[in-house]
Amino acid sequence: MRKTALRGAEERTGERETVLDVSREHLEALPRPGRPRETSRQPANLLFHPDGRIQISTDVIEWLWPQSPFPNRVPGSVHLKLLVKWSRDRRQAEKLVLVPAGENEPDALAASPVGRREVRWPVVYVMRAAQIMRHIGIYGYARYRAYRTELLKGGRKIGRAVVVDLTGAPLEGRKDDILACLQEWARQATPGEVVPKGRFMAEIKGIAQRLGVFVSKRELESYVRTHRDELAKAGIVFTLSGKTSFSSVMLEKAVPEKPAKRR
């Protein structure tokens, strides 16, 4: 009776088969449906969002922190300093440099991990730096390549850093979505016609939708205030109203069409 019960338990649990001879059993692998997923890692980069977020790729984080500052636990916030190199006339930011910093250091910005909460390193980080983005002239969705480097002072190595060249074209997107919308508006506008603000905003909104970008009223007003002189030189003249807005805009001269590219 006891042997019969044991045999029945073995048959139910399958514990009797402890060895499988592949050659004798003629086992075959089942084909996977579809093509295997190819995983490709983008080069180290920073992704600038129009709302002021800067997304930092895992390769950048891995270079700045070769070892996780959060051993055996979910990664938390890290701190960075942003340094900039200006052109000689200080009108254009040429390089942006990211350097690890302590939490209490002056001008240190916090970056937080994004994605699932799990114990792994490195992870993608994001920081909020809208004012810094505007200060260095980024008003759009743009992904820039980041390069590893080491900081020297007096010929001595003082730490690791990553540098972004802002003078070249981004890997993805545009550096200035607002300017792209204004330039497109100028190509369509009638020279000498004064366009009231309400109509102008509606036209800019339509252009932004066609270009696949988002331009808010507040961002546009701030942009006009900051770059009014440069826009006037390009023939787009704004009439200011109050401290933060404008009442109308006029195109002083026609903007020439871009020459067609030779095939």
Please state the φ and ψ torsions of residue 93, each to the nearest 5 degrees. -80, 120
The pLDDT > 70 percentage for the chain reads 86
Q: Are 48 and 138 in contact (CB under 8 A)?
A: yes
Looking at per-residue confidence, does 229 or 17 come out higher?
A: 229
pLDDT in tens, 144-163: 999 999 999 888 988 999 99
What integer is the mean pLDDT of 113-136?
Answer: 91
Dist CA 47 CA 172 (whole Å)? 9
pLDDT in tens, 185-204: 999 999 999 999 999 999 99
pLDDT in tens, 1-46: 555 554 554 555 555 657 777 777 777 878 777 666 555 667 899 9
